[in-house]
Amino acid sequence: MSDHNVSMNRIHYTIIHKYWMALDVKTLLWEKIEKINNHSEIILYVFTVCLFHFWNIIYFIYHLYIFLIFI
């Protein structure tokens, strides 16, 4: 297998892994939100989830950019 294919596989794995991590965090936070009665804490958790997803989108675009350069 060439170095090019190895790097592509690594990038794909990283993107998929990060996406699943984001889903896991979202699920965990959502379960926690359901147990909370305080509205300010709910807003804080929702903000955290949004921030985490925003970071993953930036991370995804960055890897997509690298992927397009390598093609």
Mean pLDDT of 50-57: 77
Most confident option among 2-6, 24-28, 37-41, 66-70? 66-70
pLDDT for 65 beyond 50: yes
5, 61 in Cβ contact below 8 A?
Answer: no
The model's confidence at residue 44, banded by pLDDT at 50, 70 and 90, is confident
Mean pLDDT of 32-54: 72
Helix (H) and strand (E) counts in the chain = 2, 0
CA distances for 36 relative to 18, 27, 48, 65, angstroms: 27, 15, 15, 40
